[in-house]
Structure 1
């Protein structure tokens, strides 16, 4: 593949026409986000690859085996180096449609990314007045220099998100906007703009775990959209995982409408971590034999995450392989990867509740946890 010169970006623009809902991509094409664009042919490109942070985009028409090999080299070379250098250990690969999947499978077969479902929502109209939803003792504040100048107990909860897309807090304040929820000296949640481009923006939103399920995310989204409209933003988009039911529900409650479902691939650059994550994906989807296979494959690699032992134990327990499960869970205790609550509360370990060896492991965990 060939790096497209900045002055030639227009040659690739038409290849991405089916991906208008991806605003990070539109920001790249508009020159507002500095990012490389690789094509198969500079003069007459048929497909293109670009990325911003951990978001990777493929578009055009899938190529042949040689093209897949060219894509593999760029992906495993400069793309991975730049992502890791910027602190991103994972990637989300988006593409136009299912016709790309055999090509991607060929190009990234050694990486085994996980195919996931994604959803896109666009704001239509507000369904409530956020002011009437604000609990006593809490405030919705604009994210600006005055807010950041105050002393907060957990400022990083907000500032880390501000630099997830922008290179600095100062750059965010100059080019983006948002609101946050506060109580006393604590920041409880935020809703921030992402990839502001051509009177459009996307939503980044979160509320702290201890204040969830109270409608505060919906309230923040409504306050954010009010601010966006006041700034002349005509279209606000919201992306989330198809499995993230809470996020989709919050979008709908705030007045967004479901526009599209689309596929993507999720992967981690580190092979052992990626394999363990595949194990987790199979476990939560009740594919226990595949989960165990991936977990144990990860554990055979160097620098496998310790939590993979717990996952392997859960998968083996669900398959009725108690001795195998206990062997993995013993490694959990040895490595200190989980606490006793994880053992007691996991639905995957129900079959071991009356097992003497399992309860001895619990006793060891309890003693370790009390000693912390």
Structure 2
């Protein structure tokens, strides 16, 4: 059987985590920093857990990867319990990874009868020594760099406030929660947000970034400029910026390396479409 645990008991799975891994997505959910749900093999003494992060819209498997009390039931649980909840959130696929690569053969066996897609994710950390010599990019005329603060989020002159608000609410419980906990930057052009770099979630001193540019304003270096501001704020506050992207996202990988990030780790990401009835 698989059980959902209450938020006040989320910290019961801390003992399942591998100390050699950052686990920031999982820890952000456990600590209530970012919303999510946790499912285990036992309420009283969990050995294996599946963590669902609302913002990432993905799932993480942690703990004992060879636990039949969990492994034998999780596939049906996903079909019967997770799928209906996910579909209400407009998710049509189950995206997941194991805490370590030890999980990979187990997950491939459990979900071997699915239309399983397999890809790689890259994780980068800033090389602060190289950043000290980095020359920041200049903003073109007509564009304005702004910190995402209460004043900006209440500025009725901005034509597409929902562009940034909807992204904040994807990751955080509210805009106030976001503003209380972290920071971000955006670029305005003619009272329109055309690019942003926000902190999606975080744990301890680690601050991951979420970056997006409106399609018609791409290839102007806007992501580079908002990310530079984000990095500067991290350094000033003794925080560690964290970059993650798909192996296939060449533009993101190129920008990370331009901004003096070093690739730290690669892990395997899986997904499959939910089964139709």
Q: Does TM, scored on the shorter chain, surpass 0.5?
A: yes
Partner of 1:268: 273
Instruction: Answer yes or no: is 1:239 the counterpart of 2:249.
Output: no
SS of the residue aligned with 2:72? Answer: helix
**Could you tell me the TM-score, scaled by structure 1's length?**
0.65
Instruction: Answer yes or no: is 1:119 the counterpart of 2:122.
Output: yes
Partner of 2:80: 77
SS of the residue aligned with 1:195? Answer: coil
Instruction: Answer yes or no: is 1:228 the counterpart of 2:231.
Output: no
Displacement of 1:179: 0.2
| C-alpha contact 1:122 1:256 (8 A) present in aligned 2 | yes
In 2, Cα distance between equivalents of 1:19 and 1:2: 27
SS of the residue aligned with 1:134? Answer: coil
* Residues 211 and 97 of structure 1: CA distance in aligned 2, closer, same or farther (over 3 Å): same
What does 1:129-168 align with in structure 2 at a 5 Å threshold? 129-130=135-136, 132-150=137-155, 151-168=157-174
SS of the residue aligned with 2:17? Answer: helix
In 1, Cα distance between equivalents of 2:160 and 2:4: 42
Partner of 2:103: 100
Partner of 1:27: 28
- Residue deviations 1:211-243 (CA, integer Å, cap 9, x gap): 32232222211111112334x252121111011
| C-alpha contact 2:168 2:200 (8 A) present in aligned 1 | no
Partner of 1:335: none
* Residues 6 and 178 of structure 1: CA distance in aligned 2, closer, same or farther (over 3 Å): closer
Number of matched residues? 270
Displacement of 1:109: 3.5
Partner of 1:326: none
SS of the residue aligned with 1:135? Answer: coil
SS of the residue aligned with 1:248? Answer: helix
Higher relative contact order (CA closer than 8 Å, sequence separation 6+)? 2
* Residues 45 and 31 of structure 1: CA distance in aligned 2, closer, same or farther (over 3 Å): same
Gaps of 5+ in 2: none
| C-alpha contact 1:24 1:195 (8 A) present in aligned 2 | yes
**Could you tell me the TM-score, scaled by structure 2's length?**
0.85
Instruction: Answer yes or no: is 1:252 the counterpart of 2:253.
Output: no
Instruction: Answer yes or no: is 1:17 the counterpart of 2:18.
Output: yes
In 2, Cα distance between equivalents of 1:68 and 1:106: 10
Displacement of 1:269: 2.8
Instruction: Answer yes or no: is 1:208 the counterpart of 2:211.
Output: no
Partner of 1:197: 203
| C-alpha contact 1:180 1:191 (8 A) present in aligned 2 | yes
Displacement of 1:129: 4.2
Displacement of 1:190: 0.3
What does 1:353-368 align with in structure 2 at a 5 Å threshold? none
- Residue deviations 1:260-301 (CA, integer Å, cap 9, x gap): 011011233365xxxxxxxxxxxxxxxxxxxxxxxxxxxxxx
| C-alpha contact 1:23 1:201 (8 A) present in aligned 2 | no
Displacement of 1:123: 2.0
What does 1:326-345 align with in structure 2 at a 5 Å threshold? none
In 2, Cα distance between equivalents of 1:270 and 1:188: 37
In 2, Cα distance between equivalents of 1:36 and 1:139: 38
In 2, Cα distance between equivalents of 1:171 and 1:234: 19
Displacement of 1:43: 4.8
In 2, Cα distance between equivalents of 1:75 and 1:146: 42
Match of 2:90 among 87, 90, 97: 87
Displacement of 1:118: 0.5
In 2, Cα distance between equivalents of 1:26 and 1:257: 23
C-alpha RMSD of the superposition? 2.5
In 1, Cα distance between equivalents of 2:104 and 2:187: 41
In 1, Cα distance between equivalents of 2:214 and 2:10: 41
SS of the residue aligned with 2:248? Answer: coil
